[in-house]
Amino acid sequence: MLVIVAPGQGAQSPGFLTPWLEDPAFAARFEWLSTVAGLDLVEHGTTSDAETIRATEVAQPLLVATGLVAALQLFPHPGDAFEQIGAVAGHSVGEIAAAAGARVITAEQAMVLVRERGLAMAAASGRTPTGMTALLGGDPEEVAAALARHGLTAANDNGPGQVVAAGTLEQLAALKADPPAKARLMPLSVAGAFHTHHMAPAVERLASLARSVSVHDPRTRVISNRDGRVVHDGRDVLARIVGQIASPVRWDLCMETMTDLGVTGVLEMPPAGTLTGILKRQLPGVETFALKSPDQLDAARAFCDRHGESAGLETTPTWRMVVSPAKGTFHRDAEAADLDVLRAGAAIGGVASLRDTVSVTAAHGGQVVEWLVEDGDLVSPGQPLLRLHPEGAA
């Protein structure tokens, strides 16, 4: 199975777009998204210095636009991509690129959202001097205790030995002076304490905009940063992207879900390297591909051919699918089992795992066409559970 991932803020470096913009098709598409964002992203991707592209309001649109246009270079016929992509995931702001790639939102909607996300997060960061520091190694319990001692939040959990602490600059300085044993501290090139309560004003801003954004259910599995669950309701994907601004990135749980799905290959969109580095350490049996420059495109397509398989999520307008959000045992709701028509939001059951039980609802409702699993069946993330026919459809 092939998973496509998009990196988050901090992956950018000065001049990384220069070779990509030599292609006229890439340049034209990128200039269009720059226009939508209201920023000269061509300049920022080629000649702007590290400090300029470190700014939140610049870095985020730059990363999302790069991922979206590079995806069109990788898959010249976008519809064909869904015959190969088993799932998508993005780290932090990379979730916006992943959502657009899965057809939840359009590229233009993605650029408006990321522009406003960057501006709102920059404004929130300006209220109090904050930052982020990666802790590499150390005993997990001692690392957690050190963060609690200094009032810091584990804003990113990227797997064992890779936690990112976020908080005020004073709190981070105290951590530096009193670090957990055997942990190496690495300050990150970001402008604020992202994915913490410091970003609450940005959540409010994005939530108000999101109410006017039209969405579609994804064409492939979307793995959420919030809890690693597979999300197949477009409105839920968008809501999670909004809320994730002020909540931790659980990349560790995303990687668990990739394992549950049976991933064999992960391709990281440009500017690549950060996520594939984490995946190599945490999922040693999985092949990775870091797409960094256009001269790798043929090799990247061959990689996709080698690992690709359809997610099996048909998207015809005549019926809808309800899928499992996680790995576990499916327990059918007794009331739903006896109904021929389900209302929107009706519970159909739950998926129980060792961690918890996740309720499953029919987001859109409709006539029950076919139950695809039985009560007590083991299910995997994104597995179809129930086929519905929209009420009133011909």
- What CATH number is given to the structural domain containing 361? 2.40.50.100
| Given 34, 48, 92, 224, the catalytic residue | 92
Mean pLDDT of 41-54: 96
pLDDT over 50 (residue 394): no
Query: What pLDDT is recorded for position 18?
Result: 97
Clarify whether residues 379 and 276 are in a common domain. no
Give dist(CA 164, CA 274) in Å, integer. 14
Give how many domains the chain has, as a whole number: 3
Of 155, 187, 219, the residue that ends a domain is 187
Clarify whether residues 100 and 239 are in a common domain. yes
- What CATH number is given to the structural domain containing 147? 3.30.70.250
Clarify whether residues 222 and 240 are in a common domain. yes
- The mean of the pLDDT values for the chain is 94
Mean pLDDT of 45-67: 96
The burial class, CB within 10 Å (0-12 / 13-18 / 19+), for 123 is middle
Estimate to the nearest angstrom the gap between the alpha carbon of 229 and the chain centroid: 11
Clarify whether residues 218 and 298 are in a common domain. yes
Q: Which of 18-27, 127-136, 186-195, 224-233 has the lowest mean pLDDT?
A: 186-195
Q: What is the pLDDT of residues 382-393, one digit of tens each?
A: 999 999 998 754
48 band by pLDDT with thresholds 50, 70 and 90:
very high
355 band by pLDDT with thresholds 50, 70 and 90:
confident
| Given 195, 198, 232, 364, the catalytic residue | 195
**Alpha helices, H only, 19-106:** 24-37, 41-46, 50-54, 56-74, 78-81, 94-101
Q: Is 195 a catalytic residue?
A: yes
* Structural domain contains residue 138: yes
pLDDT over 90 (residue 78): no
Clarify whether residues 11 and 106 are in a common domain. yes
- Residue 342 and residue 296 in contact, taking contact as beta carbons nearer than 8 Å: no
Residue-number span of the structural domain to which 375 is assigned? 320-389
Mean pLDDT of 107-129: 95
Q: What is the pLDDT of residues 298-311, one digit of tens each?
A: 999 999 999 998 77
* Structural domain contains residue 130: yes
Q: What is the pLDDT of residues 150-182, one digit of tens each?
A: 999 999 999 888 999 999 999 999 999 999 999
Query: What pLDDT is recorded for position 319?
Result: 75
* Structural domain contains residue 283: yes
Percent of the chain at pLDDT > 90 equals 89
Query: What pLDDT is recorded for position 318?
Result: 62
Clarify whether residues 119 and 235 are in a common domain. yes
* Structural domain contains residue 217: yes
Which is more confidently placed, 237 or 76?
A: 237
Query: What pLDDT is recorded for position 40?
Result: 97
Q: Is 92 a catalytic residue?
A: yes
Phi-psi region of 140 (alpha: psi -120 to 50; beta: other; left: phi over 0): alpha
Give dist(CA 366, CA 189) in Å, integer. 48
Clarify whether residues 177 and 230 are in a common domain. no
Clarify whether residues 39 and 99 are in a common domain. yes
- What CATH number is given to the structural domain containing 237? 3.40.366.10
317 band by pLDDT with thresholds 50, 70 and 90:
low
* Structural domain contains residue 108: yes
Q: What is the pLDDT of residues 243-264, one digit of tens each?
A: 999 999 999 999 999 999 999 9
Q: What is the pLDDT of residues 81-117, one digit of tens each?
A: 889 999 999 999 999 999 999 999 999 999 999 999 9
Q: What is the pLDDT of residues 192-226, one digit of tens each?
A: 899 999 999 999 999 999 999 999 999 999 999 99
Residue among 243, 233, 238, 240 nearest 345 (CA): 233
Predicted structure pTM score? 0.91
Clarify whether residues 135 and 174 are in a common domain. yes
Clarify whether residues 70 and 219 are in a common domain. yes
315 band by pLDDT with thresholds 50, 70 and 90:
low
Of 142, 161, 187, the residue that ends a domain is 187
Clarify whether residues 349 and 296 are in a common domain. no
Clarify whether residues 141 and 112 are in a common domain. no
pLDDT over 90 (residue 77): no
* Structural domain contains residue 394: no
Residue among 75, 76, 66, 58 nearest 16 (CA): 66
* Structural domain contains residue 53: yes
Query: What pLDDT is recorded for position 90?
Result: 98
